[in-house]
Chain A
Amino acid sequence: MTTISAVATVAGIGALFVFNGTAGLETAGPGGWPEGTAVERSRTAPTVLVFAHPFCSCTGATLEELDGLLAKRNSGAQAPVIRILFSRSDPAWRPGELWSRASRIPGASPAWDEGGKEARIFGARTSGLVFLYDRRGKLLFRGGITSSRGHTGDSYGAERLTAALDSGQSAVGAPSKVFGCALFATSDDRVRER
């Protein structure tokens, strides 16, 4: 019994670690503010753009981190404009807990991204992907800001985003991974392709 229990426990914990630590799929996106997008970019302040799945519990950690790092910034620093786009694959979906959480971030405006149209334009595939553009539309940061799925706390991505916000320069180093649910199902892609 002890052996079976130990094997099952180790296997379960391993599987959970794998799930938590597996980053979402990402594709290369445009280096600047893309053409054809309906998302409004601020001309006077940096714009933070977050793509999220409306029911992805892992993305709660991304919003938590974003709220936290913005709150910790120097009060004299220029506040960015925050756009949080929830991909709506089903027209019947209504705002839920994540929407409310997003609404509570100062300066943030949650909005629906019908059919994930904007996400495709920006090349976003995973909930929790964060973009930072300067007021001229230059991409300063692109990536996730949590260290694993659904977990808050110090992370490489959050540090890079903070540095980019503070300096107004492009974030240095390798892009940070995005931990969250997929914004599109394979079937969604097949429907779109038809």
Chain B
Amino acid sequence: MMSWLLALEWAGMIVIAMVLSPRTWSGSESHIHPHLWAAILSGPAFILPAILLTVIYPTRQLTRHAIAVAQMLVSALLIDITGGRVETHFHIFGSLAFLAFYRDWRVLMTASAVIAANHLIGGFLWPEALYGVLTVSPWRWVEHAWWVVFEDCFLIVGGMREGRLDWGAHHDTLTGLGNRLLLQECYLALPDLPNTKRALLFIDLDHFKQANDTLGHAVGDKVLMLVAQRLVEAVGSRAVLARIGGDEFAALLDNVAGPEEAIKTGNLILAALSVPFRVDEHELMLSASVGISLYPDQGTDLATLQECADSAMYFAKRQGRNACAVFSAEIDERETVLREIRRDLYRALPRGEFSVHFQPVVDREAGLAGFEALLRWTHPVHGRVAPADFIPMAESAGLIAGIGEWVLTEACRECRTWQRRGHPPVSVGVNVSAVQFELPGFPGRVIEILRECDLDPALLTLELTEGIIVRDMAFAAQQLGGLRALGVRISLDDFGTGYSSLSYLASLPVDTVKLDRSFLNRDSASDSAIVQSVIDLAHGIGMRVVAEGVETLFQSNRLKELNCDELQGFYFSRAIPADALAGYLDSIQTDPAAVARLVA
């Protein structure tokens, strides 16, 4: 754009010189007028160099200075050609033009220096030509100098005021870091040089929302300020830092050797954030997930780099958080699929793509004790989607309550169907999400579903994780009390992975504790001791214990030795689709050997 303007100015100046003063005369002889020569030669002398710089180094400071010099001299030459006095006014207009273009004081100083040189040299050699009648007032130049100084001061003061507004438009007022606009402008200002690599790092704090919700926004804001401070200390000297969302930050690195250097920077950030944060009386442990994209490998425009860094960041989160991930084709493929899944999740329920499978739960003495209802989703394109992938999405999309209610209804209906077909009553366990559990009318809705399905409440076990209960113990006790009063059984899921508080275990109306599968995957004496302790404790307060994830005969025998009441896992059976369950129940009912296998 600027190169075109400069080229047009050059052409315009030549045309004006040709019209106004094409030739100079001596009687009948004429020659090309020096104005026309000056207009033509101004191109190679100072306009073309400026044009070349705008093309080769469009964002460099040197280019701006070259344009400033060219603009000032073009202005002076135009005034000379058109017959005006080379006076202060062109400097003023020139200065204003540069401010409008660049808001750059260094460039303004260059423009002023050109004018000063022009005035001083010209004024020294031909004072009358520049300053008018010095014979009348030898101090006439003071007026001109005054205008130059006044104008610059005026522009500088006005510019500073504007600069403050400009700062606000480009920075995050909470943390003082840049914002998206600053990031964008800094990116555009970087020169487009060959063999240059850059990295964009997306930093997302892990579980910040929970901390913010729990401790309040005031504490959350202070944490964000401390995070910004640590980012500046860690990488501020070599990166453009910006806060681009609630707990999302970005770092733009120029001239990186390769992905290793970007990862090193990412790890520096993770290390800086791993030190506990002390805010008021609270001490918080935070971590972050960092996604990295590289210029020009993954894109040359900021939007593409942001998209790639975002995908890599989500990948790092899915890998367990507190990690860096560099964008790759594999991540791209996986994230593309997940994006499609996220999009299609909204239509999955109305389109009937969900199904409920049932995994048997075995009583160590009596055989089949019941089933756990497990949600499955068969995507029309991507096939079976892992619950670990789509359930967090459903939670974040606000769909989990509706899906959870659908699962509950289907499980109750199936359970009643088995009885109607003549099978002995068995219980069915249904997982309940936090959102679902916290709905004020949740117990009432459970009653409605049980009535609709005509199912005995005692055959329904609602499984909740510890995390749901400890969020608000009083509320949890009230909800659980309501459900328990109906006759519904309560099971505490994934016990041992979270708080594992034994005090609330005794105070809440819980019937069953489900031991997390992680205790079975490790074959250590300490794990066995923990399992034994939990079983003893649960039995001591009248609860039953269910072990999940039993995959081998050894695990099964060991748990039976430890007096675990019920067992569940691939060793006994995988989750069975609803339509195949009748056959399974028939085989259990009619084949005593099958029951014996279960309890063996």
Interface residues of A (CB under 8 A from B): 1-2, 5, 8-9, 12-17, 19-21, 53, 55-58, 60-61, 64, 87, 89-90, 116, 127, 147-148, 150-156, 159, 173, 181-188
Contacts and interface: CB of A to CB of B under 8 A. Distances in A.
18 contacts: A5-B46, A12-B45, A13-B73, A16-B35, A17-B126, A20-B126, A21-B129, A57-B24, A58-B21, A61-B83, A147-B129, A147-B133, A151-B129, A153-B87, A156-B133, A173-B135, A182-B27, A185-B26
A132 B85 CA distance: 26
Contact of B85 (A14, A17, A151, A182): A151
Contacts of B49: 1-2, 5
B38 A153 contact: no
Interface string B105-138: 0000000000000100110011011001101100
A57 B21 contact: yes
Nearest to A7: B45
Contact of A153 (B41, B76, B132): B132
A122 to B, nearest CB: 16
Contacts of A53: 25, 27
A144 B300 CA distance: 64
A152 B52 CA distance: 36
B34 interface: yes
A56 to B, nearest CB: 5
B42, B87, B126, most chain A CB atoms within 10 A: B126
Contacts of A156: 128, 133, 135
A55 B126 CA distance: 25
Given A5-B49, A181-B24, 15 more contacts: A8-B45, A9-B46, A12-B41, A17-B122, A21-B129, A56-B24, A57-B33, A147-B133, A150-B83, A151-B80, A154-B133, A154-B136, A159-B136, A182-B25, A182-B26
Interface residues of B, number: 41
B529 interface: no
B30 interface: yes
A20 B73 CA distance: 16
B126 A57 contact: no
Nearest to B79: A151
Contacts of B132: 147, 153-155
Nearest to A174: B135
Given A12-B42, A154-B133, A116 B27 contact: yes
B209 to A, nearest CB: 55
Contacts of A14: 121
Contacts of A55: 23, 25, 30
A12 B38 contact: yes
A12 B13 CA distance: 15
Interface string B13-30: 000000011011111111
Given A151-B84, A156-B135, A20 B30 contact: no
B422 interface: no
B440 interface: no
A156 B33 CA distance: 26
Contacts of B27: 53, 87, 89, 116, 182-185, 187-188
A17 B41 CA distance: 15
